Structure 1
Amino acid sequence: MLQNMTEGASLKLIIPFTVPLLIGNVFQQLYNIADIIIVGRTIGVNALAAVGAVSPLFMLTMVLTIGLSNGFTVVTGQRYGAQDMQGMRRSIATCVVLSLFFVLLIIGIMHLVIDPMLVMMNIPPELMEDAYAYVMIIVDGLLAMMAYNLLSGIMRSLGDSKTPLYFLIISSIVNIILALVFIIIFGWGVPGSAFALVIAQAFSAVLCVIYIYKRFPQLHIHRSDFQLDWPELWAHLRMGLPMAVQFSVLGLGIIILQSVCNKFGSDQIAGFTTAMRVEQLALQPMISFGIAMAVFTAQNFGARRFDRIRDAVHRCSLLTLAFSLFAAVVVFAFGEEVIGIFLDNPSPTVMEAAHLYILYTVPVYFFLSQIFIYRNACQGMGVSMIPMLSGMVELIMRSIAAIYLSVPFGYEGICMAEPIAWISCAVFVFAAYHYFVRLLEKKYTPVN
Structure 2
Amino acid sequence: MRDLTQGSIPRLLAGMAGFIGFGLVVQTMYLVVDLYFVAQLGGQAVAGVATGGSVLLFVMALSQAVSVGALSLISRAIGGKDAAEAQTVFEQAMSMALTAAVATLLIGYLAGGRFMAVLSADDATRMAAHAYLLASLPSLALMFPTAALGSVLRASGIVAAPMLLQSATVFLNIALAPVLIAGWGTNHPLGTAGAGLATSIATIIGTIILIVLFGRLEMTLRMKVAAPRFAAWWRIAAIGLPSSGEFLLMFVISGVIYWALRRFGPDAQAGFGIGSRIMQSIFLPAMAVAFAAAPIAGQNHGAGRADRVRATFHTAVLISSGIMLALTLLCQLNPELPVLVFTRKSAVVAVASEYLRIVSWNFVAMGLVYSCSAIFQGFGNTGPAFAASASRLATFVLPTLLFARWPQATLHDLWRLSNVSIIIQALISLLSLRRAFRPRGAPRIP
For the pair 1:426 / 2:388, whether they are aligned, the reply is no
The yes-or-no answer on 1:200 pairing with 2:198 is no
Q: Per the alignment, do residues 278 and 403 of structure 1 end up closer, same or farther by CA in structure 2, a change over 3 Å counting?
A: same
Distance 1:230 1:57, change over 3 A: closer
| C-alpha deviation, 1:74, in angstroms | 1.6
Alignment map for 1:253-292 (pairs within 5 Å):
253-292=253-292
Residue 31 of structure 2 is matched in structure 1 by 32
Matched residue, 2:416: 416
More helix by share: 1
Stretch of structure 1 that moved more, 23-32 or 5-14 = 23-32
Q: In structure 2, how many angstroms separate the alpha carbons of the residues matched to 1:431 and 1:398?
A: 20
* Residue identity in the other structure for 1:147: P
Letter in structure 2 aligned against 1:269: Q
Q: What SS is found at the alignment partner of 1:220? A: coil
Match of 2:381 in 1: 383
C-alpha separation in 2, matches of 1:19 and 1:291: 11
Counterpart residue type for residue 174 of structure 2? I
8 Å CA contact retained: 1:183, 1:192 = yes
Cα shift readout 1:107-133 (whole Å, capped 9, x = no counterpart): 434445434433432432221111111
| In structure 2, C-alpha distance between the alignment counterparts of 1:396 and 1:170, rounded to whole Å | 42
Question: Partner of 2:298 in structure 1?
Answer: 298
Is residue 69 from structure 1 mapped to residue 57 from structure 2 by the alignment?
Answer: no
Q: Equivalent residue for 2:99?
A: 101
Deviations 1:13-47 (A, max 9, x none): 11101011111112222333222111113x22221
TM-aligned CA deviation for residue 419 of structure 1 = 0.8
Aligned amino acid, residue 81 of structure 2? Q
Letter in 2 for 1:14: L
Tell whether 2:165 aligns with 1:163: no
Deviations 1:295-352 (A, max 9, x none): 1111111111111111111122122111111111222334311111112xx2221111
Deviation at 1:228, TM superposition (A): 5.6
With 301-310 and 76-85 compared, the bigger mean Cα shift is at 76-85
Unmatched tracts of structure 1, length 5 or more: 443-448
Taking a change above 3 Å as real, the CA distance of residues 221 and 207 of structure 1, as seen in their structure-2 partners, is closer
**Counterparts of 2:311 and 2:28, CA distance in 1:** 30
* CA–CA separation in structure 1 for the residues paired with 2:26 and 2:14: 18
Question: What is the correspondence of 1:33-432 to structure 2 with a 5 Å cutoff?
Answer: 33-41=32-40, 43-185=41-183, 186-222=188-224, 226=226, 229-343=229-343, 346-406=344-404, 407=406, 408-432=408-432
Q: CA contact under 8 A between 1:157 and 1:295: conserved in structure 2? A: yes
SS in 2 for 1:244: helix
Give the deviation of 1:170 after TM superposition.
0.5
Q: In the alignment, is the contact (CA less than 8 A) between 1:370 and 1:426 conserved in 2?
A: yes
Query: Counterpart of 1:169 in structure 2: which amino acid?
Result: S
The change in CA–CA distance for 1:97 and 1:3 in structure 2 (over 3 A counts) is same
Aligned partner of 2:17 in structure 1 is: 18
Q: TM-score, normalised by structure 2?
A: 0.92
Greater Cα shift, 82-91 or 118-127? 118-127
Shift of 1:230: 4.3
| Superposition deviation, residue 54 in structure 1 | 2.8
Maintained 8 Å contact 2:317/2:368? yes
RMSD of the alignment, in Å?
A: 2.0
Name the stretch that deviates more: 328-337 or 303-312.
Answer: 328-337
Change in Cα spacing, 1:441 to 1:112, as seen in structure 2 (3 Å) is farther
CA contact (8 A) 2:48 2:120 kept: no
Q: Once the 2 structures are TM-superposed, how far is the Cα of residue 222 of structure 1 from its aligned partner?
A: 4.9
Contact 2:66–2:236 under 8 Å retained in 1: no
For residues 368-418 of structure 1, the C-alpha deviation after alignment (integer angstroms, 9 at most, x for no partner) is 110000122112101121232222123332212323345332222332232
For residues 207-241 of structure 1, the C-alpha deviation after alignment (integer angstroms, 9 at most, x for no partner) is 21122123433222457xx3664443322121122
| TM-superposition CA deviations, 1:135-157 (whole Å, max 9, x none) | 23323442322222222221111
What is the rounded CA distance, in whole Å, between the counterparts of 2:248 and 2:96 in structure 1? 17
For 2:262 and 2:26, how far apart are their aligned partners in 1? Answer: 28
Q: 1:230 to 1:60 in 2, by over 3 A?
A: closer
Match of residue 446 from structure 1: none
For 1:33 and 1:147, locate their aligned partners in 2 and report how far apart those are by CA, in whole Å.
25
324-333 or 11-20: bigger deviation: 324-333
Report the alpha carbon displacement of residue 423 of structure 1 after superposing the two structures with TM.
0.8
User: In the alignment, is the contact (CA less than 8 A) between 2:100 and 2:141 conserved in 1?
Assistant: no
Q: Per the alignment, in what secondary structure is the counterpart of residue 341 of structure 1?
A: coil
CA distance in 1, matches of 2:161, 2:68: 17
> Which SS does the other structure have where 1:432 is aligned?
helix
- The aligned residue for residue 5 of structure 2 is 6
Q: Distance in 1 between matches of 2:212 and 2:370?
A: 31
Tell me how far apart the structure 1 counterparts of residues 363 and 99 of structure 2 sit (CA, whole Å): 36
Task: Give the TM-score of the pair, scaled to structure 1.
Answer: 0.92
Tell me the distance in 1 between the aligned counterparts of 2:65 and 2:328. 27
1:396/1:164 CA distance change after superposition, 3 Å = farther
> What is the letter of the counterpart of residue 413 of structure 1?
D
Supply the AA of the counterpart residue of 1:26.
V
Q: Quick check: 398-407 or 97-106, which moved more?
A: 398-407
Query: Conserved in 2, the CA contact under 8 Å of 1:60 and 1:247?
Result: yes
Letter in 1 for 2:171: I
Q: What does the per-residue CA deviation read over 1:259-305, in whole Å, with 9 as the maximum and x for residues that have no partner?
A: 21233112111211111121111111111111112111111111111
